[in-house]
């Protein structure tokens, strides 16, 4: 695991001790006919202001061939949703970089390390993809807390903006 940026709290979220009643065995599982409804029912608790509802993300993913999306499970417990732009899923990608499009943790599971552990699991996945050199993410300028969160995971600002959002990268 790379060192966190200067001044950021350093954690290796893959090695966090399990919280009472919660395992840190994070898995990114395929969403199936049987699991799509529970994934859609997850609620980030932000009224859709920070992250799109999972139903919208899944619908968008079906029309974007580069979309790779999974349910986030802690042990057997569904805790969230993640969606990645994976340029290797098409012959001629529109962009060369991998991009963390969506990360949402249900409001009942926030603050327990699941988001950070899910990002680390996603980084592990991206490292297996051909040509992966970095993982990008962006956040609204007003979402300083998200910037600190991603910064604590080794992401740094690129100086670029995407649709008015600040872009960060994590070298792989």
Q: What is the pLDDT of residues 22-46, one digit of tens each?
A: 436 899 999 999 999 999 999 988 7
> What per-residue confidence (pLDDT) applies to 13?
40
Examine the pLDDT at 58 and tell me if it is beyond 70: yes
Domain boundaries, the chain: 13-171
Q: What is the mean pLDDT of residues 34-61?
A: 89
Q: What is the mean pLDDT of residues 138-144?
A: 91
Q: What is the mean pLDDT of residues 84-113?
A: 93
Distances (CA, A) of 171 to 7, 64, 90, 115: 19, 25, 22, 19
**Averaged confidence pLDDT in the chain:** 86
Note the CATH number of domain 13-171: 3.40.630.30
Q: Give me Rg for the CA atoms of the chain.
A: 15
> What per-residue confidence (pLDDT) applies to 93?
82
- The model's pTM: 0.83
Residues in contact with 72: Cβ distance below 8 Å, sequence separation at least 6, in sequence order: 26, 27, 28, 29, 78, 79, 80, 81, 82, 105, 114, 118, 121
* 133 burial level (CB within 10 Å; 0-12, 13-18, 19+): exposed
Report the distance separating Cα 131 and Cα 114, nearest Å: 27
> What per-residue confidence (pLDDT) applies to 16?
41
Examine the pLDDT at 8 and tell me if it is beyond 90: no
Report the distance separating Cα 88 and Cα 86, nearest Å: 5
- % of the chain beyond a pLDDT of 70: 84
> What per-residue confidence (pLDDT) applies to 97?
93
> What per-residue confidence (pLDDT) applies to 165?
94
């Amino acid at each position: 695991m790379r060192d966190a940026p200067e001044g950021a709290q350093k954690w290796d979220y893959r090695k966090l001790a399990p919280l009472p009643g919660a395992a840190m065995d994070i898995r990114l599982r395929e969403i199936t006919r049987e699991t799509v409804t529970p994934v859609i029912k997850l609620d980030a608790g932000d009224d859709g202001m920070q992250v799109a509802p999972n139903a919208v993300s899944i619908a968008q993913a079906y029309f974007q061939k580069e979309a790779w999306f999974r349910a986030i499970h802690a042990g057997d417990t569904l805790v969230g949703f993640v969606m990645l732009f994976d340029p290797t899923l098409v012959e001629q990608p529109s962009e060369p970089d991998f991009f963390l499009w969506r990360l949402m943790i249900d409001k009942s599971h926030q603050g327990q390390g699941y988001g950070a552990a899910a990002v680390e699991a996603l980084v592990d996945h991206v490292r297996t993809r051909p040509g992966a050199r970095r993982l990008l993410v962006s956040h609204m300028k007003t979402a300083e807390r998200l910037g600190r969160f991603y910064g604590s995971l080794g992401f740094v600002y690129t100086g670029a903006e995407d649709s008015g959002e600040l872009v960060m990268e994590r070298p792989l």
